[in-house]
Amino acid sequence: MDLTFDVAVCGAGPGGAALASILASRGIKTALLERQSDFSREFRGEGVMPSGYEALKDIGFDLESINVPVQKNSAVNVYCYGEHLIDVEPPFEDAIVRWVSQSALLEHIISTNHGNNNFNFYRGHRVHDVICENGRVRGLRVTNTETQFGIKAKVVIGFDGRTSILRRKLNFDTTDFKQIIDVVWFKVPYPHQFLKPGRAFVNFVPGGFMVCPACYGDALQIGWIINKGSYREVKELGEEAWISEIQKVCPAKLSQHLEKCKGQITNKFVLDVSIERCLEWSKKGVLLLGDAAHTMSPVGAQGINIALRDAIVAANHLVPFFSRDFSDAKLDSIYKNIENERLPEVKKIQNFQKRPATVFKKQNPMIMLMIKNLPTLTKLSFVRKMILKQFKMMAYGVTNVGLKV
């Protein structure tokens, strides 16, 4: 038997969970579907920029007041080949990157909506197909460990990430901005003897770089850049071997810390870095948002923030839509309006993300000269203005986004 809702949201990551929460709180009967039974079983980015923090607060989830593990990163220590270059303080008081437990945040959003009959969460339910009627998607085919059933909805939204089942099933056309790197992520106990609390660490190394933010739970999240597609080779070396490779280019104190931490490495994951964008975000009655519509790279910790802002803009357009009768043509028009509002920001952020990974990975002599002279270059006013402009874009977004419904 098919179940019927106003909206079906495929994917309960931050964007999908946030959108479902907004819609349900406005009296719209919403189904939120998540294939994982445990949020912690899937890798999710955890960096929340000021734009993402404000979006969450707008929706009703202020990270400063809810019980979710958070670590603020208030400065960045920059090194090159293990030698200290410069410490960078945020240019604005609120320009803080928060490292947030996504599994805890998602559980908090879900639990906050317990008791709301309009919020229907299907944990451990995989969408395996769409329900089509007269060439248009009218719902989703869903399966769990025990049964299969259909969920019909007036509005179907794919917030199901870079491996989106809806994007595949409906053959959305995409533009792929080819990337040359992947990232090995893992966590170690925080190196207090090397870094002050709440400090991120960046180290330019031969042929790449390391990005290491302070993480909740008194940990350091290490992102080690490798050549795209080379993880199998790295994995065959064994954990001790690749940690030893990292140690060779680390500052001495961090190298010593990693030596002590062998056997305490957790949350290992290899991210296949990609930047893609659907040529159109809607098709046959389905709207894609977040990484399903526009895959973001880890540069600038934008994935969560962009997805949350997608959710707010989508809610602003969809909530009034349910106050009156509507046609398929009207819904398609609203989908297009959502895309048009979000596309300028997504384009600009993706265009920025395409550059740094390639530039810092290739490290030609001019780039290395600039990196090694960062302490001098950052004293020049035009350089500072240029850096500040890019920082504002990554921290606060490109367009004004606020919940209006």
Residue 316 has pLDDT above 90, yes or no: yes
Structure confidence at residue 62 (pLDDT) = 95
Structure confidence at residue 361 (pLDDT) = 60
Residue 355 has pLDDT above 80, yes or no: no
Residue 61 has pLDDT above 80, yes or no: yes
Q: Give Cβ neighbours of residue 77 (< 8 Å, ≥ 6 apart).
A: 84, 87, 88, 195, 199, 200, 201, 202
Give residue-wise pLDDT tens across range 74-109: 899 999 988 999 998 877 777 789 999 999 999 999
Structure confidence at residue 167 (pLDDT) = 97
Mean per-residue pLDDT over the chain, rounded: 90
Residue 358 has pLDDT above 70, yes or no: no
**Nearest CA among 345, 353, 330 for reference residue 397:** 345
Higher model confidence: residue 232 or residue 342?
A: 342
Euclidean distance between CA atoms 347 and 343, whole angstroms: 6
Give residue-wise pLDDT tens across range 236-269: 777 777 788 888 888 999 999 999 988 888 888 8
Structure confidence at residue 198 (pLDDT) = 94
**Nearest CA among 73, 102, 383, 70 for reference residue 198:** 73
Residue 360 has pLDDT above 60, yes or no: no
Percent share of the chain, pLDDT over 90: 64
Write b or e for each residue in 270-279: b if 16 or more Cβ atoms lie within 10 A of its Cβ, otherwise e. Answer: bbebbbbbbe
**Per-residue confidence at 362, pLDDT binned at 50, 70, 90?**
low
Domains of the chain and any CATH numbers: 3-177+274-396 (3.50.50.60), 181-271 (3.30.9)
In this structure, how many other beta carbons lie within 10 angstroms of the beta carbon of residue 237?
A: 12
* 325 class by beta-carbon count within 10 Å (0-12 exposed, 13-18 middle, 19+ buried): exposed
Residue keyed to tokens 């719902």: 139
Structure confidence at residue 215 (pLDDT) = 96
Higher model confidence: residue 388 or residue 37?
A: 37
Structure confidence at residue 255 (pLDDT) = 93
